[in-house]
Amino acid sequence: MPGSATEPMSTPGRGRARTAAGAAACAALLLPLLGAAPPAKAAAAGGSGRLQQAFTSASAQYHVPLSVLLGVSYLQSRWDGHGGAPSVSGGYGPMHLTDAHTALARASHHSEGTEDPRGDGARPALRPAAPDASAGVPADSALPGRLKTLPEAAGLTGLPAERLRADAAANVAGGAALLAAAQRRLGEPLSADPADWYGAVARFSGADDSATAAAYANDVYDVIRSGERRTTDAGQRMVLAARPGLAPDTAQLARTGLRQVSRSGTECPASVSCEWIPAPYQQFGTDDYGNHDVGDRPRSERIRYIVIHDTEGSWDGVINLVQDPTYVSWNYTLRSTDGHIAQHVKAKDVAWHAGNWYMNATSIGLEHEGFLAAPDAWYTEAMYRSSARLVKYLAGKYDIPLDRQHILGHDTVPGPTTGTIPGMHTDPGPYWDWRHYFELLDHPFRATAGRGGGLVTIRPDYASNQPEYTGCTTAGAPCAAHGSSEVRLYSRPDTSSPLIKDIGLRPDGGDSTADVNDVASRVETGQQYAVAGRQGDWTAIWYLGQKAWFLNPAERPTAVNAAGLVVTPKTGADSVPVYGRAYPEKEAYPAGVPVQSVSPLPYTLLAGQEYAIGDAVPGEYLYSVTFTTDSHRVVVGKDRYYEIQFGHRVAFVRAADVRVRSSRG
């Protein structure tokens, strides 16, 4: 990690430095800074040192060590300013100062669309009712402190709230003022030693319990020890110098007065804050129940997948919903402001979250506080890191491979039947940073072969990859330019050619669109596809039974080469069917368990085409449609399936229908 920068000494009594950033600095506000003042050359280069100077000035003005200020900001925003747009919890700027009355009030995504979250045709479809959104944002007195730090910062600095939202320098000053105030409340001196600020950093997290605050503070100090360098969303190259020997005074946590939260009942790693907020298992009348199924995983069924969701709602409302026995469920919820985790359903039990019963029965669902179609209602670094730690823990415990064929977005879960495809959900969407997420999982996406490997792994540069989307706020209206994990597909190597069509989404043959929720012609970071051709800056892959082209120039690649196993139709077959679930053959079902149809999707895998294998799985069905568990059965057939990356979503093919070979040819 970079640099040998030193901490500037805080000098009490220095005059107040208010750097007016203006519109240009509003873009610059988003990004990070060095562990020391930038060199004059950097400061002169297009204003690249403005944000650094803002941190340096705020550090001196409020007597907060620069490394502490930078470390906290990195955990909040990775030093990005998001163009002045608020996060999902109403946080603004590089310090993520919160003002909940600006936060969006929406219903959870489970209440929208036509998807049945349980996804089992053996039971009537579950259509959760949307919660009453008329209540809006509660009064200030009812809001937790973590959602109103911006008004407090305004009072401490004397700066207007609007300036704290829009001006990077003001926002950084506001964060420094909050840290200094937290230090004073703890009775601690405004020390120049960053080791003396552990308690204040813990309080800055906004957490109301000591475990969450400690997890947050530990992350901040990990960042300070290791150092960071990054080019921000405003294009500034920033560096936080490493302090590898820094040992904070963690005993300060006991003096913060934060409540203790029991981890009892949770299945979480020790490195995250986690509490048990159970989803109710409750019967209604004689033939209905909610909001999950009691199971015996992994003894009864292997847990193969982890599904990443966003809530399309704020923390408090979503937590209320999962405790409603008439609603649906998921296993964990993660909070944006500080990465706090609530577990609702045990891993042994089956939550109703993915819209596909086969996937529900073999997966764990994680909901992240956020909004798909509001790209700048952004995810904090604290939440990304907490989520990655939880996923690594679960993957290790249940032997789940850390790849995009097993760590799925809800948007890559297949529709179980043809009729369900148009209603399947599309979260977390194109603005979830899969590349960064897998770096946090310690499984970064890298080239694993040369051009002859036969596969490609999608891997655009998130910040500079900005496909045009529409419909974020108004149907057909362009979304704000923003980094994305996704790459668009065309029918020919030409951006003016038609987009790839999806007959499952549009049985009438209608055209695909650039709508933010239209996954018909998009591939996503980490997904692997078989190469179908190359032409200049373009690469073709097999996708939904078609040859699909994407722009992949050598100077700015959007994919890297890979190799692995692929499937193709068995010799003599012109095509084979594709499925949205891997169910057993009818002969496998015992008496008392209704046979579930093995119904193909409207797609076919054609001779001459190849698709990357994600896993080999048994034909399996969990029969669980009663409140009492005595009738529950796991049916396992002789049929075997391969999970493949078929389109944007994964799919399944019968092993008997295909042959497997190396992608290298």
Residue 468 has pLDDT above 90, yes or no: yes
Instruction: Name the more confident of 376 and 29.
Output: 376
Whose CA is closest to 112, among 517, 640, 584? 517
Tens-digit pLDDT profile for residues 314-339? 788 889 899 999 899 999 999 988 99
Residue 304 has pLDDT above 60, yes or no: yes
Length of the chain counted residue by residue: 665
Name the average pLDDT for the chain. Answer: 88
Q: What is the C-alpha separation between 228 and 155, in angstroms, rounded?
A: 31
Residue 414 has pLDDT above 80, yes or no: yes
pLDDT for 346 equals: 98
Q: Which residue has the tokens 């194109």?
A: 430
pLDDT for 111 equals: 57
Residue 226 has pLDDT above 50, yes or no: yes
SS3 515: strand
Rg, C-alpha atoms of the chain:
26
Tens-digit pLDDT profile for residues 42-73? 333 334 588 999 999 999 999 999 999 999 99
Q: What is the arithmetic mean of pLDDT over 339-343? A: 96
Residue 89 has pLDDT above 60, yes or no: yes
Q: What is the arithmetic mean of pLDDT over 189-193? A: 98
Delineate the domains of the chain, giving CATH numbers in brackets: 22-99+148-255 (1.10.530), 262-430 (3.40.80.10), 568-662 (no CATH)
DSSP codes, 97-137: EE-GGGS-----GGGSSS--SS--TTSPPP-PPPP-GGG-S
Q: By CB neighbour count within 10 A (0-12 exposed, 13-18 middle, 19+ buried), where does 365 fall?
A: buried
**Ranges 108-112, 275-279, 567-571, 610-614: which has the least confidence:** 108-112
pLDDT for 286 equals: 77
Which are the contacts of 322, defined by CB distance < 8 A and separation ≥ 6? Answer: 277, 279, 291, 328, 329, 330, 333, 344
Q: Which residue has the tokens 């036969």?
A: 454
Q: What is the C-alpha separation between 40 and 556, in angstroms, rounded?
A: 30
Tens-digit pLDDT profile for residues 487-540? 999 999 999 999 999 999 999 999 999 999 999 999 999 999 999 999 999 999
Whose CA is closest to 78, among 371, 379, 480, 387? 379
Q: What is the pTM of this model?
A: 0.88
Q: Which two tokens stand for residue 127?
A: 């259509």
Residue 248 has pLDDT above 70, yes or no: yes
Q: What is the C-alpha separation between 204 and 91, in angstroms, rounded?
A: 13
pLDDT for 316 equals: 80
What confidence tier does 292 reach under pLDDT thresholds 50, 70, 90? very high
Tens-digit pLDDT profile for residues 103-159? 544 445 565 667 788 889 888 877 676 555 444 545 565 677 888 999 999 999 999
Q: What is the C-alpha separation between 369 and 340, in angstroms, rounded?
A: 11
pLDDT for 31 equals: 27
Whose CA is closest to 30, among 84, 98, 86? 84
- Residues linked to residue 612 through DSSP beta bridges, in sequence order: 566
Instruction: Name the more confident of 10 and 449.
Output: 449
Q: What is the arithmetic mean of pLDDT over 361-369? A: 96
pLDDT for 24 equals: 31
Q: What is the C-alpha separation between 502 and 139, in angstroms, rounded?
A: 46
Whose CA is closest to 448, among 612, 561, 525, 527? 561
pLDDT for 1 equals: 35
Strands (DSSP E) contained in 372-436 are 407-409
Q: How large a percentage of the chain has pLDDT more than 70?
A: 87
Q: Which residue has the tokens 């049985």?
A: 507
SS3 420: helix
User: Is the preceding peptide bond at 298 cis, omega within 30 degrees of 0?
Assistant: yes
